[in-house]
Amino acid sequence: MPQKIALKDQNLESRVYGARTVTAVCLVVFALGIILARYYSLQVSQYEIYRTQSERNRVQLQPLPPKRGLIYDRNGVLLADNSPSFILSVVRERVQDLDATLAELAQLVPVSRSDLERFRKKLPRTRPYDPVPLRFRLTEDERAILAVNRHRLPGIVVDAQLLRRYPHGELFSHALGYVGRINEREALEVDETDYRGTFHIGKVGIEKYYEDELHGTVGYQNVESNAHGRVLRVLERHDPLPGADLVLHLDYNIQKAARDALGDRRGAVVAIDPHSGGVLALVSTPGFDTNLFVNGISTRDYSALRDSPDVPLFNRAVQGAYPPGSTVKPFMGLAGLESGLMTPESTVADPGWYKLPGESRRYRDWILRIRGTGHAPQVDLKMAIAESCDVYFYDLARRLTIDRMHDYMTPFGFGSRTGVDTTNERPGVMPSSEWKRNAIGQVWYPGETISAGIGQGYWLATPMQLAAATSVLASKGQRRVPRLLKTLDGEPVTAPPREPVTATPEHWAAIFDGMREVVHGERGTADYLADGILYEMAGKTGTAQVINIAQNEVYNEEEVAERHRHHGLFIAFAPLEAPTIAVAIIVENGGGSSAAAPIARAVIDTWLFGEADPTIGQNDNG
C-alpha cells in the first residue's frame, strides 16, 4: 500500500511564529525600556550625583597645608625652622586591594609595623580622596624606586612637605618643646578643616602654647587628574597663610652658658629681665633631642628617655618643686621689716641653735657643725642674710607665724603658678594652717613654722617661681607675668603687669645691702664669686635637704648616696644699682649652694659682657 505523507499545518506554524515574534518583540521592548529607564536615571534624575562622582574622579579638591611659623631668639638666632621632606601616602579610594598594595609597597621600601599601625588608625578618620600618610622622610633612593613602579601602584602618592627641625636639639628642648604627629585624641579635638593636610601639632612647651599662632591657615587647590591619580593641571588655587613667626626673649648665649655651667648635673636655670618680665634663659638638665619626636620617636629611644633615672623629659624649670631653702631669707627679712616685728638693726642671740619657748628640742644652725658655735653673739639682719643665719630666721618665723608668712609670701608668687607662657607649670606649695588642714587633714605645729622660716618643710617652689620672685626684689616690687614671647609676627608682646609688692625704700635698701654682702662681704656665703668681678651682684645661697637628719646626727656628704645629697640653690640679680637680670638656679644633689652659685656668675657675666669667666672659684658655705 502506498505510505501516507503528513502535510504541514500552516495555521499552526503561523500561530507559533507569531507567538515567537511577539515574545521577541516584547523582550526587545522590555530591554529597551530598561535601557531607557537607566539612561533617564543616569542622565536626568541622578545626573548631578554621577556628574559629581565623575568630576571627583577627574577633579580633586586638595588641601594645601600652611608653613609653620619660625621661632627665633632675641638676637635673631633660628631656634625652630622647617625642612623639606617627602611623604609616602595612600589614597584609599584609588586602591582596589589595599592589603595587596601595602604588601607590594613593603617589598619596595621599608615600612615598619608602627608605620602600618598608625596608618590603619588614621584611615577611618580621613575624608574620602584625602591621602593618608604611611611613611615620612623618604630617601632619594626610595623616591626613585617608587617613581619607577608608580604605574603599578594606583593611589600611591609621594608629596613634598615641610617638617619641623630644631637646629640646636637638646639646648632648647624644654623651652621650645616639640611638635609630633597628630594622635587620635588630638584629631577629635582640633578643627578638622584647619588641619586638613597637616600631620603634626605642638605637643608641649612653646610649640603647644602658641599652636594657634604657629599653625597658620590651610589653603586648597582644584586639580585635574588621570585615572591613576596623577595631577594633569591645576584649575584653581588658594594659597595657605603661613603661621606667625615668634621672637622669644630667650638668649642663645645665656642659654648655652647656663647649660655649659650645669654640665652633666641635674638641675635648672631660669633668668628673667626684671623690667620686661622676659625670660632670658630656661634650662633644665638633662635635656633630649627634640628632633626625635617630630615623626614619631622609636620605641627604643623613647624607652631610654622614659626609663632614665635622670628623667630627661621632666622640665625641672617649671615642673620641679623643691624646698627653696635659705633663698627665702631675703623675702622673710622684708616680711619682718614690713610687719614691724624688727628693724634692720634688731639683733637675735645666736648660740648656734634655737629652741621654742617651753620646748627642749634644739633647731640647729648650719654653721654649728663648722665652728661649733653660732655666727656671732648677736646677729642683725645684714649678717643674717650675708652669712645665712638660721637662728635669726627661726626666731623671725616664730614671731611672724605661718599664716602671716603665707600672706607676705604669696604676693611674690610663692604657692601659685607664675603664668609663664609654656605648658605643665606647677604651683608649688606655700603652706599655711588652712592649707595643711585641707591637704593633709592635720593641724599645724609650731615646729613646722620653724622649718618653713628657712625654706624647708612643706614649702616647695619651682625655679621659675624663685626667678620671678627674685625679679620682684630686683625691681623693688614691680611684678609682671614672666614671658618667653617677645614679638609675634614683628608686633611686640608686653608681659601683663600685676599688683606690685609695696615696701618702704629703707626696707628695700636693707635687703639689698644684705644680699650684696652675700657676694661682696668678707664672710658672705658666696664671697668666692667676687673674685675678679666687674660689677656688684646681690645674691643668696640656699641648701635644701633631701633626706631627714635626726636631731643629734651630723650630715656627712661622703657617706650619703649621691641622689640623697642636699640640693644646691642660688638666687641673684645684677648690677646691684640698676638690675637688668634676675637668676634662680638649682643643682639637684649638688651637696650645697657652692654647686649653684658659680652658674649664676656665668649667666650674669654672659648677659653683661657676652662671655663667662672660666676661673670662677667655688666654696662650701651653705
For 361-380, the pLDDT digits (tens) are 999 998 887 888 889 999 99
Same domain, 211 and 338: no
Same domain, 156 and 258: no
**pLDDT at position 88 over 90:** no
Q: Does residue 163 contact residue 137 with C-beta atoms inside 8 Å?
A: yes
Same domain, 214 and 284: no
Same domain, 233 and 314: no
End-to-end alpha carbon distance in the chain: 149
Beta bridge partners of 223: 60, 234
232 — pLDDT class (breaks 50, 70, 90): low
What share of the chain in percent tops pLDDT 90? 59
For residues 357 and 427, which has the higher predicted lDDT (pLDDT)?
A: 427
**pLDDT at position 470 over 90:** yes
Residue 42 lies in a domain: no
Same domain, 117 and 139: yes
Mean pLDDT, residues 590-608 taken together: 93
Give the pLDDT of residue 124: 82
556 — pLDDT class (breaks 50, 70, 90): low
295 — pLDDT class (breaks 50, 70, 90): confident
Least confident residue range of 311-320, 396-405, 541-550: 541-550
Same domain, 361 and 376: yes
Q: Which amino acid is at 161?
A: Q
Residue 24 lies in a domain: no
Least confident residue range of 56-70, 187-201, 388-402, 570-584: 56-70
Give the pLDDT of residue 443: 96
Chain-centre distance for alpha carbon 219? 28
Same domain, 543 and 470: yes
Residue 303 lies in a domain: no
Residue 486 lies in a domain: yes
For residues 443 and 119, which has the higher predicted lDDT (pLDDT)?
A: 443
Same domain, 317 and 426: yes
Give the pLDDT of residue 438: 96
**pLDDT at position 225 over 90:** no
- Count CB neighbours of 367 within 10 A: 22
User: What's the domain range around 454?
Assistant: 252-294+310-609
| Cβ-based neighbours of 7, under 8 Å, separated by 6 or more | none
Same domain, 154 and 272: no
Same domain, 211 and 257: no
**pLDDT at position 560 over 50:** yes
- Count CB neighbours of 560 within 10 A: 16
User: Residue 403 burial (CB < 10 Å; 0-12/13-18/19+)?
Assistant: middle
Interior/surface letters 174-200, b for 16+ CB within 10 angstroms, e for the rest: bbbbbbbbbeeeeeeeeeeeebbbbbb
Same domain, 200 and 320: no
Residue 3 lies in a domain: no
Give the pLDDT of residue 68: 95
**CATH number of residue 134's parent domain:** 3.90.1310.10
Residue 116 lies in a domain: yes
**pLDDT at position 586 over 60:** yes
Q: Does residue 277 contact residue 495 with C-beta atoms inside 8 Å?
A: yes
For 162-174, the pLDDT digits (tens) are 889 999 989 999 9
Residue 545 lies in a domain: yes
| Cβ-based neighbours of 27, under 8 Å, separated by 6 or more | none
* Model-wide pTM > 0.85: no
Given the residues 89, 326, 471, 593, the one annotated as active site: 326
For 495-519, the pLDDT digits (tens) are 899 999 999 999 999 999 999 999 9
Give the pLDDT of residue 620: 45
Same domain, 189 and 283: no
**CATH number of residue 597's parent domain:** 3.40.710.10
For 130-158, the pLDDT digits (tens) are 788 888 888 888 888 888 888 888 888 88
326 is catalytic: yes
Looking at the 3D structure of the chain, how many domains does it have? 2
**pLDDT at position 62 over 60:** yes
* Closest residue by Cα to residue 526 from 543, 510, 513, 540: 540
Residue 315 lies in a domain: yes
